[in-house]
Amino acid sequence: MDRDELESLLAEKRILELVTAVRHPFLVNLFGCLQTPPACSWGLQFLHQHDIIYRDLKLDNLLMDAEGFVKLADFGLCKEGVGRFGRTGTFCGTPEFLAPEVLTEATYTRAVDWWGLGVLIFQMLVGESPFPGADEQEVFENIIQAAPRFPAHLSLPAVAVMRRLLRKDPMRRLGSGSGGARDVQRQAFFASVQWEELAARRVPPPFVPVLDSIEDVSNFDETFTVERAILTPPVSHRAISSSEQSLFSHFTYTADWC
């Protein structure tokens, strides 16, 4: 494991501990983590309030829990210490979700997360990316230069919120102002959402998965459920040094409510 991977791993654990400490309803919580013997418009708001930029908003990272509520998962690309005016410069993320400034500027702000929300809403309403391309380079060129085409069946509030989230200029992008997530939540597209009720999980989800037990995996693709659970073998079989082990001295964790 190189230094960047180590810092990413430890940052992800810190963020999960932060999320778990408040039992956040729309971010995955951490039940526990340990070392194996050989190697001994709510989720983003919470992260931004704690100066964390997410950088990987996409359908793959949205998971539904047993009660039908969606949670944001995978904090591996998060960056800590990035406040409203903070900037970072690591090139990372999923190609079709990258904000234009990630491709054109040396550094960028947490406004990239609101761009990602715009792409996500478009994909969920239209069924395809707002910036398609035959290859990655064409996708990047469209993200930088092209305007998304909104199908005629979309409502005006839907088009309006996407246009504001997909502004090329991050300073003008919805969510990047002092109001942050509140500015997004006030949009007409979300007029029917009872935000406080949703935060308390008192809004009935439109779909609740049917489960026989807490261990029921029938809602997952069999491609994954038929695989045997095995530990990923290490690249190197050498024993880690005491100095390397010290980097994980406080890694083991169990949520106090488990």
Share of the chain above pLDDT 70, in %: 93
- For 122, half-sphere exposure in the C-beta direction (CA atoms, 13 angstrom radius) is 27
* Model pLDDT, residue 40: 42
Cα 194 from Cα 161, distance rounded (Å): 18
Beta pairing, strands 52-53 & 79-80: antiparallel
The top-scoring range by mean pLDDT among 33-42, 166-175, 199-208, 246-255 is 166-175
- Write the DSSP assignment of 73-137 as a string of letters: ---TT-EES--TT--B----S-GGG--HHHHHSS-B-THHHHHHHHHHHHHHHHSS-SS--SSHH
Question: Which residue among the candidates 56, 60, 169, 221 is catalytic per the annotation?
Answer: 56
Give residue 36's pLDDT. 46
Tell me: pLDDT of 253 over 90. no
Burial tier of 10 (Cβ tally within 10 Å: 0-12, 13-18, 19+): middle
Say which residues have a Cβ less than 8 Å from residue 72's Cβ, sequence separation at least 6. Answer: 26, 27, 28, 43, 44, 54, 57, 61, 62
Residues 151, 216: Cα–Cα separation, whole Å: 39
Task: Specify which of 73-77, 167-171, 204-208 reaches the highest per-range mean pLDDT.
Answer: 167-171
56 an active-site residue? Answer: yes
Residue 229 has pLDDT above 70, yes or no: yes
Burial grade of 236 (CB within 10 A; 0-12, 13-18, 19 or more): exposed
Residue 254: phi, psi to the nearest 5? -135, 125
In the chain, DSSP finds a helix count (H) and a strand count (E) of: 10, 6
* Superfamily per CATH, domain 3-247: Transferase(Phosphotransferase) domain 1 (1.10.510.10)
Query: What is the pLDDT confidence band of residue 35, given thresholds at 50, 70 and 90?
Result: low
Averaged confidence pLDDT in the chain: 89
Residue 104 reports pLDDT greater than 90: yes
Task: Give the least confident one: 197-206, 216-225, 233-242.
Answer: 233-242
- Mean pLDDT value across residues 200-222: 91
Q: Determine phi and psi for 140, rounding to 5 degrees.
A: -60, -40
